[in-house]
């Protein structure tokens, strides 16, 4: 492809959208994970894990979509980016594994388990560092020869990737603290407000430095430096303003505002980075339309994924809606008003139940050789019948006979199952 078609452009938008959704949503749960590295008491830590537990799985789906959007829509980018980013990506995947597993084990345990807490916290830190490094590793360029990555395992290591790693960790911490501010109350909320205010100074500095370095090393904007420079400056200023607004909003009464401001700050820095590389998807030479899959593929992707996306967004929003407001641990025995079950009226008499129980419990354990032989005989009869129905002697019945035999067999199985259950199980 020599020029971007609207469809390819739209699909690039879809890929960027899912990446932004991932960074914004998983950002807060990675941030909360890293906040566990700071000293807090066990009940607070348990609460922080429970807040993450309801959402982390849905949030990570966006990462998968972003990856697959590249795989399907921009296979050349997928097949050169990933080998180039092998070290940070594998480290990130390992970290995401231990972290996700730690959340579920922690959540299944009655009280706070410090070991799984540490795994969760360090896993979150490593994942955030790697994601930051990945963001900074693409901008300076990926050496490509003959449609394949042509660099070494540590080509990704670059001053920019170190800077972006630090920036992303800081940003995730702020977003995590902002989510806690929205979800918790009391001492934990006051603490998260303090974190938000203290982070508001260094993080915008890191963001501005990373954007500047990204501008210097990036390869974007073939039409001259000035539009790119103005975009980067605008992104730096906007993010600074949003971070500041986020810190200021902690003094207000609207608990969700700091989260919104910090997300906007993250978004503006991300767009600034995009401006540093646009339109190159595999800098310094491959543009996004050169990396795109054939038109048939991108069309189908856009229609298929595009049609599903409103539904996906709707039920994701519903899931967040269910867990809206301040976090409360549900009481162990909560009363729910159920619709009246229709079959609750049917009850057997206690006498009948007792008879059934006795008949099951009273089965003799001793098996005489004769009884044993008789049982084996029954099994043998059954096996022959079974294979007859399956058409193992197919020449007798033919293909239609086999299908009929399977249907008869299944009907018989269901009948035996239901009839014996009605006879043996206490209703």
CA dist 93 and 359 (Å) reads 55
CA dist 112 and 43 (Å) reads 7
User: Smallest distance from the beta carbon of 114 to another protein, in angstroms?
Assistant: 16
Q: Of 3 and 379, which CB lies nearer to another protein in the complex structure?
A: 379
Q: Is 423 in the site for another protein (CB under 8 A)?
A: yes
Q: Of 251 and 318, which CB lies nearer to another protein in the complex structure?
A: 318
Q: Is 234 in the site for another protein (CB under 8 A)?
A: no
Q: Of 3 and 339, which CB lies nearer to another protein in the complex structure?
A: 339
Give the x-and-dash track for 367-406 against another protein (CB under 8 A): --------x--xx--xx--x--xxx--xx------x---x
CA dist 174 and 188 (Å) reads 15
Q: Using the rule CB under 8 A, which residue among 16, 238, 245, 409 binds another protein?
A: 409
Which pairs count as long-range contacts for 141-144, CB under 8 Å and 24+ apart, including other chains? 141/219, 141/283, 141/284, 142/80, 142/81, 142/84, 142/282, 142/283, 143/84, 144/80, 144/282, 144/285, 144/286
Q: Of 194 and 326, which CB lies nearer to another protein in the complex structure?
A: 326
Give the x-and-dash track for 87-126 against another protein (CB under 8 A): x-xx--xx-xxx-xx-xxx-xx------------------
Q: Which of residues 285-324 bind another protein (CB under 8 A)?
A: 293-294, 296-297, 300-301, 304-305, 308-309, 312, 315-316, 318-319, 322-323
Q: Using the rule CB under 8 A, which residue among 150, 190, 201, 225 binds another protein?
A: 150
Q: Is 365 in the site for another protein (CB under 8 A)?
A: yes
Q: Of 96 and 247, which CB lies nearer to another protein in the complex structure?
A: 96
Q: Using the rule CB under 8 A, which residue among 38, 43, 64, 285 binds another protein?
A: 64
Q: Which of residues 38-57 bind another protein (CB under 8 A)?
A: 50, 53-55, 57
Q: Is 227 in the site for another protein (CB under 8 A)?
A: no
Cα Rg, the chain, nearest whole Å: 30
- Which one, of 108, 101, 121, lies nearest residue 48 by Cα? 121
Give strand ranges (E) for 134-175. 144-145, 148-149
Q: Using the rule CB under 8 A, which residue among 7, 16, 68, 404 binds another protein?
A: 68
Q: Which of residues 251-280 bind another protein (CB under 8 A)?
A: none
Cα dihedral 72, 74, 77, 79 sign: positive
CB burial of 243-272 (b: ≥16 within 10 Å; e: otherwise) equals: bebbbebbeeeebebbbbbbbbbbbbbbbb
Q: Is 326 in the site for another protein (CB under 8 A)?
A: no
The helix (run of H) or strand (run of E) holding residue 395 is helix 394-424
Q: Are 153 and 171 in contact (CB under 8 A)?
A: no
């Amino acid at each position: 492809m020599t020029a971007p078609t609207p469809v390819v452009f739209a699909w690039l938008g879809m890929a960027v959208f899912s990446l932004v959704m991932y960074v914004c949503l998983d950002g807060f749960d990675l941030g909360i994970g890293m906040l566990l590295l700071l000293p807090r008491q066990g009940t607070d830590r348990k609460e922080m894990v429970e807040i993450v537990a309801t959402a982390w799985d849905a949030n990570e789906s966006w990462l998968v979509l972003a990856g697959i959007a590249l795989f399907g829509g921009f296979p050349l980018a997928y097949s050169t980016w990933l080998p180039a980013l092998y070290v940070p990506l594998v480290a990130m995947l390992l970290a995401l594994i231990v972290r996700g597993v730690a959340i579920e084990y922690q959540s299944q345990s009655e009280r706070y388990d410090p070991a799984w807490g540490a795994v969760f916290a360090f896993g979150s830190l490593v994942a955030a560092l790697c994601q930051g490094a990945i963001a900074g590793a693409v901008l300076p360029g990926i050496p490509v020869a003959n449609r394949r990555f042509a660099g070494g395992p540590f080509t990704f290591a670059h001053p920019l990737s170190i800077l972006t790693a630090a920036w992303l960790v800081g940003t995730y911490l702020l977003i995590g603290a902002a989510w806690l501010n929205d979800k918790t109350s009391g001492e934990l909320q006051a603490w998260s407000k303090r974190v938000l205010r203290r982070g508001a100074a260094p993080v915008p500095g890191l963001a501005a430095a990373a954007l500047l370095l990204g501008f210097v090393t990036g390869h974007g904007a073939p039409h001259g430096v000035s539009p790119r420079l103005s975009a980067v400056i605008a992104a730096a200023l906007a993010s600074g303003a949003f971070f500041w607004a986020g810190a200021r909003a902690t003094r207000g009464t609207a608990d969700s505002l700091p989260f919104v401001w910090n997300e906007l700050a993250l978004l503006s820095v991300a767009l600034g980075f995009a401006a540093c590389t646009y339109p190159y998807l595999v800098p310094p030479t491959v543009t996004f339309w050169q990396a795109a899959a054939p038109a048939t593929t991108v069309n189908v992707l856009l229609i298929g994924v595009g049609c599903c996306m409103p539904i996906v967004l709707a039920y994701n929003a519903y899931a967040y809606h269910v867990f809206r407001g301040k976090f409360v641990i549900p009481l162990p025995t909560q009363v729910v008003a159920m619709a009246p079950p229709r079959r609750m009226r049917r009850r057997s008499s206690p006498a009948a139940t007792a008879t059934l129980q006795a008949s099951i419990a009273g089965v003799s354990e001793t098996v005489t050789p004769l009884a044993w032989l008789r049982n084996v005989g029954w099994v043998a009869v059954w096996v022959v019948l079974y294979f007859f129905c399956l058409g193992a002697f197919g020449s007798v019945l033919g293909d239609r006979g086999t299908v009929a035999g399977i249907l008869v067999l299944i009907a018989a199985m269901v009948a035996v199952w239901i009839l014996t259950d009605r006879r043996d199980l206490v209703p």
